[in-house]
Structure 1
Amino acid sequence: MANKHIFGPNYSNFDTSYRYETSWLFSPTVLFIIRGFLSLYAFTTIFTIFGYNGANGLSENSERSFSYFTNLTYWGLAFYFLFAALHSGSYAFTGTPLLARWPKVLQIAHGMFYSTIVVYPWIVTIVFWALLYSSFDSPFSTWTNTSQHALNAVYALFEIIFPRTDPLPFIDLVPVVVILALYLGLAYVTHATQGFYVYSFLDNTKNSSGVVAGYIVGILVGSVIIFIIVRYLIVFRIWVTEKKLGMTGKFSCRGVSRAVEADAEKGLNRPSAEAEVH
């Protein structure tokens, strides 16, 4: 029987074996702790920047921060890891994750949210270091930029490698592209209402319309390429960890039977000895 999970999650039968909440390497409790720590670090970074700006007469920078794709995606990482931690923790301690109790529309939204947080950080990192970086003028600037333009990719890589998530379904390309398009609109609304361009390459007074269009199309095409690369990295991870190494997952003792049965229906035929319970 073909492994259906290789082709991506079926939103009509969402996450029956708790792949968003579990890992092939870490127990649900450890995954909960790691995700919680990563969320805490991201929120700490955000509010430390706000505090620094407020203490140094730079409150306008905080107000303007919501116009920057970097900051919006970093908020996204902070909130995703917060909810992912809650899902893993609730599964570890009760056997039924919070995600399984949500309405279907919120479950689907979480799946799409996952797709954005493993794609967008790579766009932010590549664009920043390739087009925007010049130098850092202080240790504080070095730390904040490293956190938001380098560690953000580490966050994405963690979620690609360690959870048992399915490959990104191609339908999730739609929200990934639509959100990018909406952000482009926000960037020009910001210029129209506040008088500044969030990114210099969008400035059509300094660049020709053809150059600006080239950047926009390039980022769009790049996002599609990154999406496909991420999807097949996850396919590769599943193949290596589950098919070759037999590391099919670590589960809560309160919920392992359902997870084993759900994966068996997908053709994994997990031996009971391989279903590690924690």
Structure 2
Amino acid sequence: MRIFTYEAWGVPQSGFDPNFTFVRSHFVSPVVLACIRAVLCLYSFTTIITCYTWLAHRTATVNLKDVNIDSYTIHQGEAAIGQSFSFFTYLTFWCLGFYFFISAFHTFTYVFRRTSYLHTWLRPLQLLHTLYYTTITTFPFLVTIVFWGTMNSGWPAGRFEQWINISVHGLNSVFAIVEIVLPATDPQPWNHLSVVLLVLSVYLGLAYLTRGTQEFYVYEWMNPAHGWRSIVLHVVGYAAGMIALFVLARYMVVARNLVA
């Protein structure tokens, strides 16, 4: 069946990305695109390092809520560094940092060699890169909308909390928009949506594994004490939202190519 071919997933039989769309832009030169990606990579990792360094010596106070859960306060200290690898927010931000590192490297390579190592990789790796692009242009929007729309319980008092909220819950989507607008990439293949939803499903399992191994709920709505109906509605709502965001991101790419 054609759906199981590399071509259907964005890697043509004739050769991967023949027009070098992953390392070119309709609006800026390759060197500018490479520099922008490098700066975003630097900011992403600087944010993570600064956050972990701060938490290693101090305590952050975070006020959260949910659509059916009253406001509650959590205090994050050194233990939160390890726990952050169970939070979708931080996993997404890590992925943004590594994506911009990889894409900046390939774009700089294209600047100097008029080709990139990405185009010499094995096809499975090229496929993974196209999937990587799809995830970093969709997941950040889910993080931003869910946090500011349902979880945020007022503007924090501390400067650190204010800055980290803006970075991981706001700038993350700005970074995603940059990757939608600037590169000359083709629209994300429709079947990539299945992988996006699969990743969300796997993450749900990870979140409950965290509960079993570290004895805390990553997000309070996952606690059965609030009712299984609430959990099911959250899962269905996030899945529906993810589908809508995938469609939005895809057609933003379509619109960008039409304008260009």
Greater Rg by CA: 1
Q: Does 1:176 align with 2:196?
A: yes
Structure with the larger strand share: 2
Which residue in 1 is equivalent to 2:53? 51
Contact in 2 for aligned 1:125/1:150 (Cα 8 Å): yes
From 126, 131, 151, give the equivalent of 2:150: 131
| Higher RCO structure, 1 or 2 (CA under 8 Å, sep 6+) | 1
From 99, 107, 111, give the equivalent of 1:92: 111
Contact in 2 for aligned 1:9/1:167 (Cα 8 Å): no
Which runs of no fewer than 5 residues in structure 2 stay unpaired?
1-7, 60-76
Separation (CA, whole Å) in 2 of partners of 1:55 and 1:46 = 15
Separation (CA, whole Å) in 1 of partners of 2:112 and 2:157 = 46
Contact in 1 for aligned 2:23/2:30 (Cα 8 Å): yes
Which residue in 2 is equivalent to 1:165? 185
Identity among equivalent pairs (%): 39
From 163, 166, 169, give the equivalent of 1:143: 163
Which residue in 2 is equivalent to 1:109? 128
From 60, 67, 71, give the equivalent of 2:79: 60
TM-superposed CA distance for 1:221, in Å, is 1.1
Q: Deviations over 1:192-242 (max 9, x none)?
A: 11111111121111x21111100001101111111111111111111111x
Structure 2 letter corresponding to 1:189: L
Contact in 2 for aligned 1:8/1:167 (Cα 8 Å): no
Structure 2 letter corresponding to 1:130: G
Q: After the TM superposition, which residues 15-30 of structure 1 pair with which residues of structure 2 at under 5 Å, given as runs?
A: 15-30=17-32
Separation (CA, whole Å) in 2 of partners of 1:199 and 1:213 = 14
Which runs of no fewer than 5 residues in structure 1 stay unpaired?
1-6, 242-278
Contact in 2 for aligned 1:190/1:196 (Cα 8 Å): yes
Contact in 2 for aligned 1:23/1:164 (Cα 8 Å): yes
Secondary structure (helix, strand or coil) at the match of 2:254 reads helix
TM-superposed CA distance for 1:114, in Å, is 0.3
**Number of residue-to-residue matches in the alignment:** 234
TM-superposed CA distance for 1:11, in Å, is 4.0
CA 1:82–1:142: 2 relative to 1, 3 Å = same
TM-superposed CA distance for 1:184, in Å, is 0.2
Q: Does 1:77 align with 2:77?
A: no
Structure 2 letter corresponding to 1:54: A
Contact in 2 for aligned 1:65/1:71 (Cα 8 Å): yes
Contact in 1 for aligned 2:11/2:127 (Cα 8 Å): no
TM-score, structure 2 normalization: 0.87
Contact in 1 for aligned 2:11/2:123 (Cα 8 Å): no
Separation (CA, whole Å) in 1 of partners of 2:12 and 2:144 = 30
